[in-house]
């Protein structure tokens, strides 16, 4: 088994087998990060593929003594952010309400698997502006610190804090509205 350091060194030297090994080791994690942000399987796959292409093209800038996944996740986040900005892919309130009603009929007592969780996250984050959506997912789902979000996205620290607060408030309101409708 190759160490992360030796894999990165080999990738930097143009070793395609080492790169394939890295892709195999990180593909699922990268895909689900992109899926959580885009909410679309095909777009997530496209983003991931573009991120790996960029990584191969920029392999000389990788650091020998560091894990390359944080670098890759930054590329994934930025590509998702570009996609969201470009397509302005935000569901309307009506679409959200339809999805929320569909969720009501689901049996939530069973443990959600990864794909079901992605659907719930997509529903809750659907109406958020792109910055709020990305900051929320990175913080609450991926467990990034504010500093890591700043480093990954280039968003200022104050903007990270503000966007996270606004996203939490909006999602909290959506959850309250959902449960209020469910009770009536």
- At 32-82, the pLDDT tens digits run 889 888 888 899 999 999 999 999 999 888 887 677 888 888 899 888 888
Q: Please check whether residue 152 is in contact with residue 137, taking contact to mean a CB–CB distance below 8 angstroms.
A: no
Q: In whole angstroms, what is the distance from residue 167 CA to residue 137 CA?
A: 10
Dig out the tokens for 115 from the structure.
Answer: 């794909």
**Burial class of residue 57 (count of CB atoms within 10 Å of its CB; 0-12, 13-18, 19+):** exposed
Angle among Cα 116, 119, 122 to the nearest 5 degrees reads 150
Phi, psi of 68 (to 5 degrees): -85, -15
Q: What is the mean pLDDT of the chain?
A: 79
Which pLDDT does position 171 carry in this prediction? 84
Query: Is 127:121 a contact under the CB 8 Å cutoff?
Result: no
DSSP state of 128: S
pLDDT of residue 50: 93
Domains of the chain by range and CATH? 1-89 (1.10.1740.10), 91-184 (1.10.10.10)
Q: Give the pLDDT confidence score for residue 8 in this predicted structure.
A: 85
150, 123 in Cβ contact below 8 A?
no
């Amino acid at each position: 088994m190759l160490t992360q350091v030796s894999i990165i060194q080999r990738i930097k030297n143009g070793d395609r087998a080492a790169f394939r090994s890295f892709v195999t080791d990180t593909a699922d994690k990268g895909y689900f990060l992109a899926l959580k942000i885009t909410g679309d399987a095909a777009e997530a796959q496209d983003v991931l593929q573009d991120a790996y292409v960029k990584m191969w093209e920029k392999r000389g800038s990788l650091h020998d003594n560091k894990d390359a996944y944080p670098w890759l996740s930054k590329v994934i986040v930025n590509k998702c952010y570009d996609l969201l900005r470009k397509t302005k892919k935000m569901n309307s309130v009506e679409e959200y309400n339809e999805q929320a009603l569909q969720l009501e009929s689901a049996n939530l007592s069973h443990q959600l698997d990864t794909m079901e969780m992605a659907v719930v996250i997509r529903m809750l984050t659907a109406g958020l502006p792109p910055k709020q959506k990305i900051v929320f997912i990175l913080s609450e789902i991926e467990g990034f610190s504010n500093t890591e979000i700043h480093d990954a996205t280039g968003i200022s620290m104050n903007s990270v804090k503000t966007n996270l607060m606004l996203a939490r408030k909006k999602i909290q309101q959506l959850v309250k509205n959902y449960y209020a409708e469910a009770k009536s």
